[in-house]
């Protein structure tokens, strides 16, 4: 049987998505710079999309997932993979004459820039990127929408969970410097589940969703929770009157039928330090 899912990008999140789809009986072809790092039973194809178009085998494409990641946080690195790499992957699909019935592009809520903290960002909020990499992400969304007009864009908040506990380490080192900033996050398990949900739900999904947990939180409150659990010195307290940064709503994704396993940061960080 030919693969019926193409996964463009197979890092930590992409691999989680692919494995979930394989568990549902799909045959998943995954593009990664080094195909030897694609976990079985996914089928790996080696391609550096920043430099070359992938050579694809015969497909019976039903689902397409774009879950790319940049090598660094510079504008050039973002453009090389999120725009140019995406274009190369879509060109290869066109050459094979393949059109997915459903497609999801994993993007980022970074495209909102620095929103007014009095406003809850939704799918109707205008994206106003505040830096070059965020502008590139928005260009990638526009490219995807033009090439895959029936596709779905999933803008994810900050990913965490089942990996290096970077923020936990910052709390331990006393490096939480902006306790009054609103933060939004989504556990990697919930992000992967959201992509699979949008691909497989009975009704066709809409064009855009925000992927975040249920509770925007001040950074100082998250840090305080982690410090208390790990018996660390208390970090600087949050002052809600000085809050700044954006807050996100996941209401549309929830209404579609997705339910997070980790609805708040307290759920997601509950089993640290044994989380990795």
Given this model, what pLDDT does residue 33 score? 97
Residue 136 domain flag: yes
pLDDT tens per residue, range 118-160 = 789 999 999 999 999 999 999 999 999 999 999 999 999 999 9
Given this model, what pLDDT does residue 220 score? 96
pTM, entire model: 0.96
Count of domains observed in the chain: 1
Residue 194 domain flag: yes
Residue 48 domain flag: yes
Residue 9 domain flag: yes
Given this model, what pLDDT does residue 115 score? 66
Given this model, what pLDDT does residue 177 score? 87
pLDDT tens per residue, range 21-30 = 999 999 999 9
Residue 15 domain flag: yes
Q: Give every residue of the chain whose pLDDT is below 50, as ranges.
A: 274-276
Structural domain span for residue 33: 5-162+185-216+248-262
Residue 276 domain flag: no
CATH number at residue 35: 3.40.50.720
Which of these, 188, 173, 198, lies nearest to 252 by C-alpha position? Answer: 198
């Amino acid at each position: 049987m030919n693969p019926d899912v193409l996964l463009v990008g197979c890092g930590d999140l992409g691999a989680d998505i692919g494995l979930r789809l394989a568990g549902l009986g799909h045959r998943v072809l995954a593009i990664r710079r080094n195909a030897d790092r694609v976990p079985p039973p996914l089928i790996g194809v080696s391609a550096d999309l920043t430099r070359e178009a992938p050579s694809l085998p015969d497909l019976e494409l039903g689902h397409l997932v774009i879950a790319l990641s940049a090598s660094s946080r510079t504008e050039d690195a973002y453009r090389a993979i999120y725009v140019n790499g995406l274009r190369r992957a879509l060109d290869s699909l066109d050459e094979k004459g393949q059109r997915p019935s459903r497609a999801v592009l994993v993007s980022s809520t970074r495209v909102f820039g620095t929103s007014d903290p009095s406003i809850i960002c939704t799918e109707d909020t205008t994206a106003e990127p505040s830096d070059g990499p965020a502008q590139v992400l928005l260009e990638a969304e526009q490219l995807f929408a033009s090439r895959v007009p029936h596709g779905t864009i999933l803008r994810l908040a900050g990913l965490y969970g089942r990996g290096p506990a970077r923020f936990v380490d910052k709390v331990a080192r006393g490096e939480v410097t902006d306790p009054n900033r609103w933060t939004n996050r989504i556990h990697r398990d919930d992000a992967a589940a959201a992509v699979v949900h949008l691909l497989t739900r009975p009704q066709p999904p809409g064009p855009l969703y925000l992927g975040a947990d249920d509770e925007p939180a001040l950074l100082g409150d998250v840090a305080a929770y982690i410090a208390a659990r790990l018996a660390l010195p208390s970090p600087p307290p949050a002052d809600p009157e000085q809050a700044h940064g954006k807050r996100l709503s996941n209401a549309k994704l929830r209404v579609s039928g997705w339910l997070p396993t980790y609805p708040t940061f307290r759920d997601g960080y509950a089993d640290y330090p044994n989380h990795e």
